[in-house]
A and B are shown apart, each in its own frame.
Chain A
Amino acid sequence: MRFAPIFKYRMRDCMISMGVVVLVMIALTALCFFGIVTFGQIESSDGSGEVIMESTTMNFGMPVAIFMFVLSIVSIREDMRLGIQNGAGRGTSFAANTACMLITAVAMNLTFFLLTLLWNQLDTGVYIVDIFGALYFGEPFLAGLGDLAVSTAALLSLSVFLAALGVFTSLMYWRLNKAGKWIVSLGTGAVIILFVDVIIRYEAIAKALGRFLDWLFTTPWNMALSFAVLAAAFYAFARLLVRRNAITAATA
């Protein structure tokens, strides 16, 4: 079975990278606490206009999501090359990479969930901003275990979606020739502009989109489900892309 060596190699690499990110985030949070750096500030006043409290903010969600996106982009081609060099089929290498991305996403989200819980106990004046908290609970700082767990589940879903998008993007650009890369790069921008134009022109489409967004923002579970479906779709497309592409060496 050639899954295990690729999985072990990639998993070790992912855990090292994750460890570095966690340490950097802890260090940045500590720097926030000491007022050396700040990512955002909240001022509270007593109504007379006088500031009575100042707090700095930190965010763990976006770094987690971006980390997964970057990690998937840089790792998938490497794993495909390593696999084919050592007699592993494309399906095996792809499965090993996917398993590593999923496990890393879970480990990463769980780590930051625990770190947030721990930080909230310390009453430091540095608040961990939660995007899903702001979107769904009307509260950018989640302290309750239940709310934080739901937010973490949504963030996990977003992380996995971005990992799938990263894998898909990396494999697509690997497979395309130069002209194809230009067409896709410019075409994506054109499709976005066209989509905005279509929404403005056709009321029915705008209303349908509105209904979807209403549904999406009803509960974090709807967002999590949407990201999960998108992740599954992008992983399926990515698997199709790698089915017959040429496995080429990295260029200097």
Chain B
Amino acid sequence: MSIELKNVTKTYGGVRALDSVSVKFGGGLVYGLLGANGAGKTTMLNIITNRIYADSGEVLIDGESAPGNDRALGKVYMMAEANLFPDSMRVEPALRLTAQFYPGFDMDYALDVARKFELPLKKKVKALSTGYSSIFRLTLALSCNTPYVIYDEPVLGLDAQHRDLFYRLLMEKCAEGEQTAILSTHLIQEAANLINHAVIIKKGRIIRDAPVEELSSAAHTVSGPAALVDAYIAGRKLLSVNAIGGLKTASVEGEPDAGAPAGLEISGIGLQDYFIGLMNEEEGK
């Protein structure tokens, strides 16, 4: 049971937003869909939910072709940045209307989430600030209880307290293990603890698709006096190097060297560091 994209290509004008992308999301995991601006993340998510069509390729949801298929599309809820609710609709009626589409929608939970975030239920959806608009949409996404939920920039405009609350609620939701979540975000460090599996996309192509542990163990960070670091990294594949004064920090691909000299600090690499290193490597910096 999964969302599966097979050789999906999408072009805007002369630009390939997605270039023969094949990827699978499923297994009750939390996927981090990571990429720079314009990498093709939102295009991919819009194609999955049939907001736009791919030029070629297939989108399957639990084995069924998704475009135009109510049964397949009904298994996915997407919290997108764009508001697709009618301008005149107020928050509470929008929650109730969504509940009519999704049999698993938990209205009590939705109202509880709205209360925790102090979301004004009487206000028009259109009149909500950027932060509250995000809260409104994430309230829907958290409450719909579909097998797949897509969060596209879920914490846009949210303050630190609300971001923390959202991550906690998402963690609780995902702990139930019945829902596969796709989290597309630029705030990798904040969401890193939630993400089980990372899909990294660059210029419309998937460049990494692996469990986070695998990516973390595929590289490590070494820091210490510049001379020692230089000696350590000689001949190794580097993801990134930063130097401040006489100290240097390098992200290096592969297992750490057991016989590393004293004075060097070796640690695992975080998802954000891995991502930045990978992007730099791809750009040949």
Binding site for B on A (CB under 8 A): 1-2, 4-5, 8-9, 78, 81-82, 84-92, 244, 246-250
Contact = CB atoms under 8 A, between A and B. Distances in A.
B97 A89 contact: no
Chain A CB within 10 Å, residue with most, of B46, B67, B84, B87 = B84
A91 B51 CA distance: 13
B84 A82 contact: yes
A87 B101 contact: yes
B51 A86 contact: no
B284 interface: no
Contacts of A2: 70, 74, 101
Contacts of A87: 49, 70, 73-77, 101-102, 146
Interface in B78-105: 78, 80, 82-87, 97-98, 100-102
Interface of B: 46, 49-53, 67-70, 73-78, 80, 82-87, 97-98, 100-102, 146
A81 B84 contact: yes
Nearest to B93: A9
Chain B CB within 10 Å, residue with most, of A4, A84, A248 = A84
Given A81-B86, A85-B80, A88-B70, 8 more contacts: A9-B97, A81-B85, A82-B97, A85-B84, A86-B97, A90-B50, A91-B68, A250-B87
Contacts of B146: 87
B235 to A, nearest CB: 50
A129 to B, nearest CB: 34
Nearest to A80: B84
A86 B98 CA distance: 7
Contacts of B84: 81-82, 84-85, 247, 249
Contact of A92 (B51, B70, B100): B70
A88 to B, nearest CB: 6
B82 A248 contact: yes
A244 B53 contact: yes
Contacts of B86: 78, 81-82
B226 to A, nearest CB: 51
Contacts of B74: 2, 87-88
A89 B69 contact: yes
Nearest to A3: B70
27 contacts: A1-B70, A2-B101, A5-B101, A81-B85, A82-B84, A82-B85, A82-B97, A84-B84, A85-B78, A85-B80, A85-B84, A86-B98, A86-B102, A87-B74, A87-B75, A87-B76, A87-B77, A87-B102, A87-B146, A88-B73, A89-B68, A89-B69, A90-B50, A91-B68, A247-B50, A247-B51, A249-B83
